[in-house]
Structure 1
Amino acid sequence: MSIRHGLLALLDQGPHYGYQLRTEFEERTGATWPLNVGQVYTTLGRLERDGLVAPAGEDGEGHVFYAITDAGRAELRDWFGTPVRRDSPPRDELAIKLAMAVTVPGVDVREVVQAQRRHSMRALQDYTRLKARALAADLSAAGPDPDGPDPDGPDRDLAWLLVLDQLIFQTEAEVRWLDHCETRLARHRPAPAAPQAPATAPQASAPAAPQAPARRRGSGSARR
């Protein structure tokens, strides 16, 4: 994510100070990538060093405003006109985790995949609910407004919807990739067979009940 160019895009609309830039950035992206004020001012310092922004005075509360320079506008236009490179993809924690998991003994990789799928599915449901609310708000904002239309409102809503669409598509792709990972794992690492119950030993026959001794003939007969 290019915070540098995001701030230039905001400054292209007029001078801002650091906290304003932070608020504007988070509003337009739905706080998907939150910034802290220190990060904003650090980036502004680098932009000023490179001649892309310049101080533009202070207000009564001591806030230092920054304005974009001609060189800054040229870099911003170049950023908008240049595709995002894919030959050097950013590090993906999930891909790194699975790559490590299959090489570390004792890790249940299938459980790692299943746990991530459950989390991704919950995130997908959350993003879908947010999109439904954003669409409802967009339709509501399109109705008559007694105070007049907000010129920035439709563009802000559209920006948030584009971010939500990207998050939804990205998460859907992640779930499909996890399904693919599970299939590949099953091919290379068949699940261990379930242990069979030990065979039961044959039951010993119950001992025969003792019988009364046979009575001898003539025993106990009366003497003649």
Structure 2
Amino acid sequence: MSVRHALLALLSEGPKYGLQLRQEFEARTGEVWPLNVGQVYTTVQRLERDGLVESDDTEEPGPQKSFRISEKGRAELAAWLSTPPAEEVPPRDELVIKVLVALRVPGVEVAGILQAHRRHLVETMRRYTRLKEEAAEDDIGLLLVADAELFRLESTVRWLDAAEARLRHLPAPAPAPVPGRRRRAGAAR
């Protein structure tokens, strides 16, 4: 998520104070991404340094200072909005890494790990579904965020299903060695 660009988008509507930017950011994002007011001011100062926003002539920093987007900022915002997000190939996904690592850990039942994560994801999907049901129809930010999370979670559950199906075709792993028991050279089998 680019706080920098989100603030530029808010400023494209007209001049705003730092605290106002924070409140509007949280309202527009369904209040699921809290933003520290200090982060707002730090980001706006960088935007001003880079010529993307301008402030009023007030010498006082803080809530009395109003910011507005510059022409250079409008061009930056337009470019960001029309550019697809960068994709890591493949993206680093903690769940995928856990499963890949678990495949090599002696004594670990990977199917159990997949099932535990599936249960957690399904419960999270239920919470987002309830959130959508309780949201006001005009709370478009919250509804869009909830939809995005539900689709993301659903795709992860589908990946878990595919991983489980793929792992069923692997040969059973060798049992983990028992610590302290070594074979002696030349011992009968």
TM-score range, shorter chain: 0.7 to 0.9
The answer (yes or no) to whether the contact 2:52–2:72 under 8 Å persists in 1 is yes
Give the alignment of 1:134-173 within 5 angstroms. 134=135, 137-138=136-137, 154=138, 157-173=139-155
TM-score under structure 1 normalisation?
0.68
Residue 164 (structure 2) aligns with: 182
The answer (yes or no) to whether the contact 1:15–1:56 under 8 Å persists in 2 is no
User: Per-residue CA shift, 1:38-61, capped at 9, x if unaligned?
Assistant: 322222222122111122255999
Give the alignment of 1:34-113 within 5 angstroms. 34-57=34-57, 62-63=62-63, 64-86=65-87, 88=89, 90-113=91-114
Distance 1:190 1:55, change over 3 A: same
What fraction of aligned residue pairs are identical, expressed as a percent? 53
Q: Please tell me whether Structure 1 or Structure 2 has the larger radius of gyration of its CA atoms.
A: 1
Which runs of 5 or more residues in structure 1 are unaligned?
A: 139-153, 193-224
Q: Which has the higher contact order (CA 8 A, sep 6+)?
A: 2
Distance 1:43 1:100, change over 3 A: farther
TM-fit CA distance, 1:173: 1.0
TM-fit CA distance, 1:164: 1.5
User: Per-residue CA shift, 1:126-161, capped at 9, x if unaligned?
Assistant: 111111122xx22xxxxxxxxxxxxxxx4xx22322
The answer (yes or no) to whether the contact 2:31–2:142 under 8 Å persists in 1 is no
Q: Between Structure 1 and Structure 2, how many residues are aligned?
A: 173
RMSD: 2.6
Distance 1:120 1:58, change over 3 A: farther
Distance 1:107 1:20, change over 3 A: farther
